[in-house]
Chains A and B, each alone.
Chain A
């Protein structure tokens, strides 16, 4: 029912509900014999709306599951609202989902600032905040204070710790220059890098921040070059990662590059190569945990074929080259898994219990060998990844699975 029709109905005097902010009732809100209602927020308009695929991929996967019988004969209804990446709106829409739509749980809300905005409230009213789509480590770490919250993706701190350790071990004479996004995400990666370097922290010769609202990062890259760095850490979103490569090329600078997983999808690297040169991207290092639909490695992979067919059937064929859709599906797969294990008549308590006792070895959207696993004291579902190196225009993974919690 739309807001407009609420007013219309209200003026006719047909609707006079004053429900009050009541606490959770005995039988779980949002669960009927036919349906489980979950909700979340995501930016659907504005500059951050590229992330909308995180919700769309998940929504498409739920439709696929529903078409195949649902979960314990219940269909999953996933409502996602537009928060424009504004925490005040996130809170407002989430409150609406809880108070007005009476969702069973909040799922897959995107962003660090946005999820922080609602965490206190959701824990106060005891509504599960499931599989937060943000790499801040607080989602997995602070479960004592926020028992109703659990993260999903590898933490940024852990990812950068891996780069730091790798550099300390393989190239202890590096001069490291860091480009980072000047917000919680970028700063987490910086913290991780310093942690991984340990005693070799002094290798960092310069850190340059940029704002998401900047148009380019040339000035920052030029300063890193001027500090005679020979290793470049790109802790930036795809647009700025591509710019880093291309600016370095225009400055005649060819450092060894570490690019964060947010920006290392194969199609991004292809653009980075085209707009700089083959030699500029050659040897770049990153980590990977999802199957990237643009990576030739997965051309014949069953899960990627499933991914495509789901998008074709339930998303109008949009986003076939978009790794955020894979992320959304992977997260939805885990949500379905948690619901399956939450019992015949799931409650908010039982789904929280299931979400903290995951042992998923069959999530098709993550790299082979990675298990999605949690315990009540280990709330990092996706905690493994692989290092990869860019060689001859494609990623090649190397080394064993590494822990990213």
Chain B
């Protein structure tokens, strides 16, 4: 369980939130605090007050993968294989093991053909796949995706969704403005002005949001 207690940070104010293993989507209006919450869960920022624990461990002591909406702004290296290998190189893992893990990771993501390419030459969708490789290669227990689907077309977003589901990662947390994607999550958190307005299964949360723009169009049009 991921547990958040008495969290205060900027506009965020969360008394008590528990997140079960599986895929959890965080939804809400622009500026409601989704990215701030995800950054704290990732250990990128520390809260001003309160505790966040992932299976009893603070985020900065956990292995966590992060994929943002603009991956080309976070890519560090010019060669695809160097970028994917970077989390392992930063911890001085033997080069032979790194090469094998990079190959396996690229096979798993279906991007082996990009091995000799330079990051700058890639399309936006390919950059997302490379950033996903770097987020996955160290075997994170928690993978966080911050609106990574906002600049992906429908087929690439579906591919990312399939791959992260198949990765076996214990916790996957994503913010999204695609309500049909949120509806396929195991759990849903709806944020409003830095607070958790509703949390539960997609049926529970969208049930409360039935008269709002957040209710998935595909649910309204179930034939």
| Chain B binds chain A | no
Binding site for A on B (CB under 8 A): none
Binding site for B on A (CB under 8 A): none
